[in-house]
Amino acid sequence: MSPTTVRPVRIIVAKVGLDGHDRGVKVVARALRDAGYEVIYTGLRQTPEMVVDAALQEDAQVIGLSIHSGAHMTLFPAVVQELKRRKATDIVVFGGGIIPDDDIAALKKQGVEKLFTPGTPLQEIVDWLRQRFPKESA
């Protein structure tokens, strides 16, 4: 990609799982948008297949997942698997929610690049994205 055609990073933020706790995902979506990213929020109760569909359709580089029901060990890796199946592993997956430390280590091994837990400053998420996508500076 030449410098002149660099487009802002496009991020799908999604609520996977059955819970409807959307406070976190909405706050993060708004903060990322304010930081200059293109943010598409899918809404609630997305299956891994729906999330990957949305990411491919929207040509997103990043998927941000939120969950508060405790099903992260099942659903986060399922999104990564679905990306593999659809040969779209260049899409970066990060996540947030109530996730114990031990699970964070396990999820990283399974291909979720970064996990943010309650109390994370929004700036930390933005800083991580800037570092991860230095060329497509938002």
Partner 1 sequence: MKVRARDPKEAWREDFESSQARDDGIETSTISGIPLQPLYTSADLPGRPEELPGQFPYTRGIHPSGYRGRLWTMRQFSGFATAEETNRRYKYLLANGQTGLSVAFDMPTLMGQDSDAPTSRGEIGHCGVAIDSLADMETLFEGIPLADITTSMTINSPAAILLCMYIAVAEEQGVPASRLGGTLQNDILKEFIAQKEFIFPPGPSMRLVVDSIEYCAKEVPQWNTISISGYHIREAGSTAAQELAFTLADGMAYVDACIERGMRIDDFAPRLSFFFDAHIDFFEEIAKFRAARRIWARWMRERYGAQDERSLKLRFHTQTAGVSLTAQQPELNIARTAIEALAAVLGGTQSLHTNAMDEVLALPTDKSARIALRTQQLLAYESGVANTIDPLGGSYFIESLTDEMERQAEIYFKRIEDLGGVIPAIEASFFQKEIADSAFRYQQELEQKRRIMIGVNDFTVDEEAPIEILRIDPRLEAEQVARVRDVRRKRDQARCTNALSSLKKAAAGSDNLMPYILEAVRAYATEGEIMNTLIEVFGIYTEQAVV
- Binding residue (CB under 8 A) for partner 1 from 6, 84, 108, 121: 121
What DSSP state is assigned to residue 25? Answer: H
Residues 1-20 that bind partner 1 (CB under 8 A): 17-20
Residue 118 engages partner 1 in binding (rule: CB under 8 A): yes
Piece of the chain touching partner 1 by CB under 8 A; list 58-66, 85-93, 106-114, 120-128: 120-128
Residue 84 engages partner 1 in binding (rule: CB under 8 A): no
Question: Nearest 5°: CA angle at 101, between 100 and 102?
Answer: 95
Please check whether residue 88 is in contact with residue 49, taking contact to mean a CB–CB distance below 8 angstroms. no
What DSSP state is assigned to residue 16? Answer: B
- Binding residue (CB under 8 A) for partner 1 from 10, 38, 58, 71: 71
Please check whether residue 38 is in contact with residue 8, taking contact to mean a CB–CB distance below 8 angstroms. yes
Secondary structure (H, E, C), 98-110: CCCHHHHHHHHHC
Residue 57 engages partner 1 in binding (rule: CB under 8 A): no
Binding site for partner 1 (CB under 8 A): 17-23, 26-27, 29-31, 33, 39, 41-45, 47, 69-75, 98, 100-101, 117-119, 121-123
